[in-house]
């Protein structure tokens, strides 16, 4: 995978959401104390959180919220992945890519706590139509029930594979009402 962009919000000197494009050769040039190192330290926190650790004091002093957001957008994603034990699929087939067919992952850090916890969010163009918007949360038995409820022909679906069942459910809708969430 190739890192395309870094997204920073409420982190140190960056109050508003900023998107920094990363290319084959990226250089940060500017005066002292304008945030060049902050971008590199945000990447360290996102990927490792070892050399530079996130702290409450990293929250922008002008912020109106207790949350810091650091996101990364990747291109050249793997052509196939294994999600459910042994079933091969793609990020695109699973609706796990953003509206530009890139993998976008954000980490949101809660600076209201002394030890700063974070949640990981996937920003994706995902189905919002009822009965297809929660498929990654369903276990195998619930996916089977959903197939039955939607009256999908079970002979055309591998009921041992969550990937196969999700694809059958997605394919049963004329419009999945995709939305970035």
The structural domains of the chain, with segments of one domain joined by +, span 2-123, 128-181
pLDDT at 86: 72
pLDDT at 181: 87
Write down the pTM of the prediction. 0.91
Non-local CB neighbours of 46 within 8 Å, separated by 6+ positions = 6, 70, 71, 72, 107
Farthest-apart Cα atoms in the chain, separation = 66
pLDDT at 33: 83
Q: Which helix (H) or strand (E) is 5 found in, with range?
A: strand 2-9
Distance CA 11, CA 8 (A): 6
pLDDT at 137: 94
Number of neighbouring beta carbons within 10 Å of residue 156: 9
- From residue 181, how far is each of 19, 104, 126, 175 by CA, in Å? 18, 11, 7, 17
Q: Which residue has 């992952």 as its token pair?
A: 105
Phi, psi at 139, each rounded to 5°:
-85, 180
Question: Could you give the 3-state DSSP secondary structure of residue 83?
Answer: strand
> CB-side exposure of 89: number of CA atoms within 13 Å?
19
* Closest-CA residue to 127 (of 94, 80, 103): 94
Q: What is the pLDDT along the chain (181 residues), one digit of tens a residue?
A: 999 999 999 999 999 999 999 999 888 888 988 889 999 999 999 999 889 999 999 999 999 999 999 999 999 999 999 877 778 999 999 999 999 999 999 999 999 999 999 999 999 999 999 999 999 999 999 999 999 999 999 999 999 999 999 999 999 999 999 999 8
Beta strands in 18-174 (DSSP E): 18-21, 67-75, 81-84, 87-89, 103-110, 118-123, 125-127
Asked if residues 6 and 72 have their Cβ atoms less than 8 Å apart, the reply is: yes
CATH of span 2-123: 3.40.50.300
DSSP at 135: G
């Amino acid at each position: 995978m190739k890192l395309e962009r870094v997204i920073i919000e409420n982190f140190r000197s960056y109050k508003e959401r900023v998107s920094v494009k990363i290319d084959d050769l990226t250089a940060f040039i500017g005066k002292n104390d304008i945030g060049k190192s902050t971008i590199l330290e945000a990447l360290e926190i996102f990927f490792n959180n070892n050399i530079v650790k996130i702290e409450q004091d990293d929250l922008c002093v002008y912020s109106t919220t207790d949350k810091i957001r650091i996101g990364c957008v990747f291109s050249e994603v793997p052509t196939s992945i294994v999600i459910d034990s042994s079933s091969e699929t793609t990020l695109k087939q699973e609706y796990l890519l953003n509206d530009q067919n890139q993998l976008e992952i954000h980490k949101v850090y809660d600076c209201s706590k002394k030890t700063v916890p974070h949640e990981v969010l996937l920003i994706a163009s995902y189905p919002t139509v009822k009965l297809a918007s929660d498929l990654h949360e369903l276990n195998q038995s619930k996916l089977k029930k959903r197939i039955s409820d939607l009256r999908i022909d079970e002979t055309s679906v591998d009921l041992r594979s969550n990937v196969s069942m999700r694809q059958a459910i997605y394919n049963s809708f004329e419009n999945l009402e995709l939305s970035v969430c």
